[in-house]
Structure 1
Amino acid sequence: MSAGIVLVGGRSSRMGTSKAALEWHGSTLLWRAAALLQRSLDGPVVVVRAPGQELPDLPDGVEVVADPVEGRGPLQGIATGLAAVAGRAEAAFVCPTDMPLLHPAFVRRVLGALGSDVDVVLPVALGFAQPLAAAYRTALAPRVAALVAAGRMRPAMLFAEVAVLRLDEAALLADPDLAAADPALDSLLNVNEPTEYRRARDRPAPEVTVVASGTSTTVRASTLGSVDIPATATVTLNGVPIRPAPGFPLVAGDNIALT
């Protein structure tokens, strides 16, 4: 079983406002991040916030935990999140709240590379190592907490002590599902300041297929709320029945069947 951890405790200084609450096609960046991990994983999804930080609404079932101290960086958030899911999941995918184009195929690719002899799967793509789009063994929780307690706050300090599998762009895209769904690795796009947010928000919504009454139609939709779904319809997403919540995130390649 794999868990999801969304880090939301950053100060958003370049954005000038809370990134978690920024609108994203009828929901918020945080809602989308948490709901996307829910649809991608079979374990709990936890949001890690700063002490006392107010959050926008979250999907049902998403848990919230707080860092013990504010402003100590992402490694503390990783430690807090891993401790929250340890014992319930063997691994966790960690992402920030501001990665709105993250695709489930990317999450599955990274988690799928976490072999028994690996502690961390670290994408190295688009010119950077990506510790906030990586998979971690939950058993690392005490070790990460010890690094934070010692003031060793950089993720690289953890990677120097554990078994890390680094996946470059070619290795990531060797997975045919990811190569088809996200060939440009837009999953790794962050929105750190207003121009980046507006640029990402203005992108066309992903193309999805809607099948109803024997007719297949391609539409652009970021959420189920953007799809015309009769109130009495049964909804199947990629062959799996789902409850049609309006904010449910859609991604490129989704197939929605209505009966």
Structure 2
Amino acid sequence: MARHARTHPAGRGPMTAGVVLAGGCSSRMGAAKASLEWHGSTFLRHVTDVVGRAVGGPVIVVRAPGQALPALGSQVIVCDDAEQGRGPLQGLATGLAVAEREGASLAFACATDLPLLHSAFVDAVLRGFTAAAAGDDWATPDAAIPRIRGFRQPLAAGYRTSLAPHLHALLEAGRSRLSDLLDSVDVHLLDEATLLADTRLFAADPDLASVFNVNTPEQYRAACAQPTPEVVVEKSILVGTELVASERRCVRASTLGAAAEQSGVQLDGQVVVAVNGSCFPAEAQSPLQSGDVVMLLTASRPVSA
């Protein structure tokens, strides 16, 4: 297929986006996976927020036409699949096309059923493009595909957004399997050793549980039984312009709301939140991940971030 050269502003890499496929029928689960409860949030809210922490552009959720979705973060764009019943390749084509229109040239694409996904995994996959190309845009592969425990992971992978027309051509030719896509484009495979050479990913997810997908009630129960992330919470109280109290503690919490509750903080207009040094939405369902450092600044009067 034709390759597409792109230019980027000096000193900047390509914009990245996320594509999350939510339109599956969930037949083996017996319930819509997007809305499954996940430690005070939902599968879809959790996955979209985790992906959003690793990409520079929007996160696009592709749903079946008319499909009801749980509440999502403000950075998420929801779009309907153009045609129902054509599998994940159709959803991927739709999501990549929207991501390209939004200005992204690379996207991390996944399904909604990856509750153990870590943003360090997303980041490592997307940086696989840079490692393969060594800065040469013409050498950038079409896809960066993890290969974990001997299996390719096309629904936890990176793609050029310009692939959308090629995906549509495959669909029109009756080739609707993800393997049809991988067999017809330039793929850079990322094996376990390559992924875990990333020190942040090795520390956060040494077992690469990020690709554990949940299809059955038994798998759902197994995922729910995994340890809750351990995070550090730094709580400070501001009176006027002075910090009058500060404490630091380790807690186990899957969401910002759970971490705040354990620290005796109510998430309201009087709280400023930062995670790992960056401003963070003060929303109870915002997911936390192992290794996060959460700063909660409470004040005697409303403060702005």
Q: Percentage identity across aligned positions?
A: 51
Aligned residues: 259
Q: Secondary structure at the match of 2:109?
A: strand
Q: Aligned equivalents of 1:73 and 1:243: distance in 2? A: 34
For 1:68, the equivalent position in structure 2 comes to: 82
Moved more, 191-200 or 34-43: 34-43
Q: Aligned equivalents of 1:53 and 1:211: distance in 2? A: 40
- Equivalence map 1:7-18=2 (5 Å): 7-18=21-32
| Residue identity in the other structure for 2:277 | G
Moved more, 45-54 or 226-235: 226-235
| Residue identity in the other structure for 2:114 | M
Misfit runs of 4+, over 4 Å: none
| Residue identity in the other structure for 2:91 | G
Contact preservation (8 Å) 2:124, 2:198: yes
| Residue identity in the other structure for 1:61 | Q
For 2:301, the equivalent position in structure 1 comes to: none
- Equivalence map 1:170-185=2 (5 Å): 170-185=193-208
Q: Secondary structure at the match of 2:34?
A: coil
Q: Aligned equivalents of 1:69 and 1:171: distance in 2? A: 37
Moved more, 198-207 or 179-188: 198-207
Q: Aligned equivalents of 1:193 and 1:62: distance in 2? A: 27
Q: Secondary structure at the match of 1:4?
A: strand
- Structure 1 or 2, whichever has the larger Rg, is 2
Q: Aligned equivalents of 1:243 and 1:10: distance in 2? A: 29
Q: Aligned equivalents of 1:220 and 1:168: distance in 2? A: 31
TM-score (norm 2): 0.82
- For structure 2, the residue ranges without an aligned partner over 5 or more in a row are 1-14, 237-245, 298-305
Deviations 1:8-51 (Å, cap 9, x if unpaired)? 11111100111111101111101111111222211011111112
Contact preservation (8 Å) 2:271, 2:282: no
- Equivalence map 1:99-248=2 (5 Å): 99-114=114-129, 115=133, 116=137, 117=139, 118-213=141-236, 214-228=246-260, 229-230=265-266, 231=268, 232-248=270-286
Offset of 1:83 from its aligned partner? 0.8
- For structure 1, the residue ranges without an aligned partner over 5 or more in a row are none
| Residue identity in the other structure for 1:246 | A
